[in-house]
Amino acid sequence: MIFTIFIPLLFALILPLISRCIPKVHPGYFVLFVPLGIFIYYIQYIGSKFTAITETYKWIPSLHINLTFHLDGLSLLFVLLISGIGSLVVLYSIFYLHTYERLNHFYIYLLIFMTAMLGVVTSDNVFVLYTFWELTSISSFLLIGYWHFKETLQIRCFKINAYYCIWWIKYVWGLIFLTILTGTTSIREMIANPEPILNSQFLPLILAFILLGAFTKSAQFPFHIWLPDAMEAPTPVSAYLHSATMVKAGLYLIARFSPIFATYEWFFIVVSLVGIITLCWGSYMAVRQTDLKAILAYSTISQLGMIMAMLGFGTEVAIFAAVFHILNHATFKGGLFMIAGIVDHETGTRDIRKLGGLLTFMPISATLALFGTFSMAGIPLPFLNGFYSKEMFFESAVLLSNETNSFAAFLSNAVPYLAILGSVFTFVYSMYFLFGVFGGQKKLDQLPKKPHEAPIGMLLSPFILVSGVILIGLFPSLFNQSLLTHAASSISQTVNTMDIKFWHGLNVPFIMSLIVVGIGIILTITRKTWQPIYRLLPGKFSLNKVYDSIIKNVDVFSKRITNFYMTGSLRTYMLIIIGTIVAVTTFIMINTDGFNIKYDNLASISVLEITVVIAIIIAALATIFTNHKLAVILVTGIVGYGVAILFVIYRAPDLALTQLVIETVSVVLFLLCFYHLPKMQKRDEKPKTKLVNAIIAISFGTLMTIVGISAHSSNWFKSISDYFIETADTIGGGTNIVNVILVDMRGLDTLFEITVLGIAALAIYSLIKLRKDKEAK
């Protein structure tokens, strides 16, 4: 299983080499086989006899962080969506993106994102899950910003990144709390033993952290405003990220952790309330939009809200319906995004006000859009998968039991009405999208390009997705026991196979569907009459305006602060830095008894040590009063060599040799640069300036001295030196303890130090090369 997760990432590393070796072939054809191969591999697990699979690979066992991957029904559903729709998106992108674009960059970002999503839905270790979670943020940010030359995209990408950083950090705090309370990093073990979490006084805080991460990821109200901004990305990105993968990661998170919190009443209240509000607000705002992808963006928000609400309901019907709609939404929404991209590609615009009457020019696209929008609207037709899950949503809303909490009881009674309200606007924006583009009068004079049908290669992916809409609609039981039941039972073991069929009699859910269609038709026909309501709601109030206002005020405030200390004076910067260090360190030491210095257990001081220290002090003081450049360099060298002598006295030959080499190189470099050094001149400074300099210098020097002495006197933690002595040979295989510490015990530190030196060397080489090239010209 681990190979299939990381194969997209591995292929991303070799894709540039393949493209260079075979430059005349579109790189998308090579990439296509990666998600397609993964999809074919995981199809074998579909079936009524499927059992969960777990694989573990040790990574950081000392911190209980291992690569543990668990494939159950829920993970399998998401893996098939990620790889299956990923294949169709790659195929679509081959014909959508121009050959002169940075195609390698696009597919590398896409492959990294694919690995990240596969890791999110299969990881059992919470910190590995979070690692992949953050990787989805980085890779999706790169995909959304693929057309980076657009100025508007740069602003919107900043908003998306701001939302990622502000809210998702809360998510990792929640995971840390869960790990501390349960003593495990395994999600399965947490689910098996939820009592420490449910009995904790931090339960509300943990739930808040987890929900904030999930709500932000899945664009729930009021954290939804980043999703419409992401529509500036290329259509293949929108079709992939916002129909089947990234925005559903938050749903996956809620579904995965819901067995822990399902019995907690506030989980039902918060998740259901946020979900149902998101459904209503997203569908209501979709009708207001004029950009095709913006309509679909708010449509996605509303659909995600509906699924989120069902996960909050937590009943058997609701969980099954949520899983079913995750599958259905991926099919019709992925196809509709691709149709929107086709319309934009073939007409040159996505503005629905300029479109209309395209049925005669693009009959295939119009037919595919018809099935997709009708399914999304939940129209009761037996060959549309959207109706089945929409009716199950109504059923789950009606069957909500009265809760003990008064507000929970009120919410349970209000949910069916809010479900109808959100679904009515879902019907309206679906018809608005379909007939606004393909119906009505032709407006050819407003189109940048003469419309025509898209090539077969671009139509193939949406055709397959819409075929999935019809196939699931005609044969829903085909996916029932083999896939959906496994996914639903992974969330709640009480969920059994549901009976999916078109006609259950003239029951309440079916009547609700008829009400939605009836009111939806009326509102669709009279849309222009009631559309001025948007002047009142949201009117001037807009979450985007709130965000813009916050960012503007933060920018003004930060600019004032920056202008206060960024004066261009090096002395000012040093005063602020050193002064802050002195103040903060002194405050901490006072509050932690850091000045409680002990004089026992001190080694004797020899005359040689005193002599060397006096020499270092005199040399250090001499640097202040010396005005000759050569003398300053030599005196500075005396300080460094004096420290090396102290290392020799204290029997640290390795450190002494290192200090000698560094000091020698530094002195030699200064001497080589002697000619280029500025002429040293004595500055006439005001007495006040000298006094401030002296106070800062003496305070810092005194404090560092006290810190060093206090560190010797403090004994907060057990000394680690014994550990190094005992394990240097057994772990590091060496008797030179210092070398073992540098290479093994602190190997990462050494690695990063070498990396820094390597980067510095490359920078120096680049500067020298640029100068030589400039001189050659």
Instruction: Determine which helix (DSSP H) or strand (DSSP E) holds 756, and give its type and residue range.
Output: helix 747-776
User: Can you point out the beta strands (E) in 305-351?
Assistant: none
Residue 95, classed as helix, strand or coil, is helix
**For 418-470, what is each residue's pLDDT tens digit?**
999 999 999 999 999 999 999 988 888 888 888 889 899 899 999 999 999 99
The answer to whether 250 and 213 have CB atoms below 8 angstroms apart is yes
Spatial separation of the C-alpha atoms in residues 505 and 498, rounded to whole Å: 16
Tokens (6 digits) for 21: 């070796």
| The pLDDT value given to residue 147 | 75
Report whether pLDDT(161) > 80: no
Using CA of residue 563, residue 569, residue 574, residue 575, what is the dihedral sign? negative
**What is residue 233's DSSP assignment?**
S
pLDDT mean over 308-313: 94
User: Can you point out the beta strands (E) in 415-463?
Assistant: none
Q: Kindly report the average pLDDT of the chain as a whole number.
A: 86
| The pLDDT value given to residue 107 | 93
**For 381-397, what is each residue's pLDDT tens digit?**
988 999 999 999 999 99
Question: HSE on the CB side for 56, CA within 13 Å?
Answer: 10
Amino acid identity of residue 200, one-letter, is S
Spatial separation of the C-alpha atoms in residues 29 and 207, rounded to whole Å: 44
Using CA of residue 424, residue 430, residue 433, residue 438, what is the dihedral sign? negative
| The pLDDT value given to residue 156 | 59
**For 355-383, what is each residue's pLDDT tens digit?**
989 999 999 999 999 999 999 999 999 88
Q: Name the least confident of 63-67, 93-97, 249-253.
A: 63-67
Alpha-carbon distances of 10 from 87, 121, 236, rounded to whole Å: 17, 19, 22
Spatial separation of the C-alpha atoms in residues 352 and 334, rounded to whole Å: 19
Question: HSE on the CB side for 729, CA within 13 Å?
Answer: 3
**What is residue 25's DSSP assignment?**
S
The answer to whether 744 and 731 have CB atoms below 8 angstroms apart is yes
Report whether pLDDT(169) > 80: no
| The pLDDT value given to residue 165 | 59
| The pLDDT value given to residue 162 | 60
| The pLDDT value given to residue 734 | 82
Report whether pLDDT(164) > 60: no
| The pLDDT value given to residue 668 | 81
Report whether pLDDT(770) > 90: no
pLDDT mean over 177-200: 91
How far the first Cα of the chain sits from its last, in Å, is 56
Rounded to 5°, the CA angle 290-293-296 comes to 95
Q: Compute CA 408 distance to the chain's CA centroid, rounded to the nearest angstrom.
A: 32
Percentage of the chain beyond pLDDT 90 is 39
**For 322-334, what is each residue's pLDDT tens digit?**
999 999 999 999 9
Residue 68, classed as helix, strand or coil, is strand
Spatial separation of the C-alpha atoms in residues 644 and 662, rounded to whole Å: 10
Spatial separation of the C-alpha atoms in residues 469 and 329, rounded to whole Å: 9
**What is residue 535's DSSP assignment?**
G
**For 578-608, what is each residue's pLDDT tens digit?**
888 888 888 888 887 777 777 776 777 888 8
Please list the alpha-helical segments (H only) found in 475-533.
Answer: 485-491, 508-525, 527-530
Burial (Cβ within 10 Å: 0-12, 13-18, ≥19) of residue 557: exposed
pLDDT mean over 93-110: 87
The answer to whether 348 and 448 have CB atoms below 8 angstroms apart is yes
Report whether pLDDT(214) > 70: yes
| The pLDDT value given to residue 683 | 63
Instruction: Determine which helix (DSSP H) or strand (DSSP E) holds 108, and give its type and residue range.
Output: helix 103-122
Q: Print the SS3 string covering 492-505.
A: CCCCCCCCCCCCCC
Top pLDDT among 60 and 119 is at 119
**For 251-279, what is each residue's pLDDT tens digit?**
999 999 999 998 898 999 999 999 999 99
Spatial separation of the C-alpha atoms in residues 345 and 350, rounded to whole Å: 9
Report whether pLDDT(51) > 60: yes
| The pLDDT value given to residue 416 | 93
Q: Name the least confident of 142-151, 619-628, 669-678.
A: 669-678
C-beta atoms surrounding 450 within 10 Å = 10
Q: Which residues, at least 6 apart from 346, have a Cβ–Cβ distance to it below 8 Å?
A: 362, 449, 451, 452, 453, 454
What are φ and ψ of residue 149, in 5° steps? -75, -10
Alpha-carbon distances of 33 from 8, 83, 243, rounded to whole Å: 10, 10, 21
Q: Which residue has the tokens 């583009």?
A: 437
**For 717-766, what is each residue's pLDDT tens digit?**
777 788 888 888 887 788 888 788 878 887 788 888 888 888 888 888 88
Helix axes 292-313, 385-398, angle to 10 degrees: 40
Report the candidate in 437, 309, 447, 428 with the shortest Cα–Cα distance to residue 379: 428
**For 397-422, what is each residue's pLDDT tens digit?**
998 866 556 888 888 889 999 999 99
Q: Compute CA 236 distance to the chain's CA centroid, rounded to the nearest angstrom.
A: 19
Q: Which residues, at least 6 apart from 372, have a Cβ–Cβ distance to it below 8 Å?
A: 332, 333, 335, 336, 339, 462, 465, 466, 469
**For 457-512, what is each residue's pLDDT tens digit?**
899 999 999 999 999 999 888 888 888 999 999 998 887 777 788 877 788 999 99
DSSP assignment of 600-637 equals SSPPP--HHHHHHHHHHHHHHHHHHH---HHHHHHHHH
| The pLDDT value given to residue 677 | 63
* pTM, 2 dp: 0.80
Report the candidate in 608, 740, 629 with the shortest Cα–Cα distance to residue 676: 629
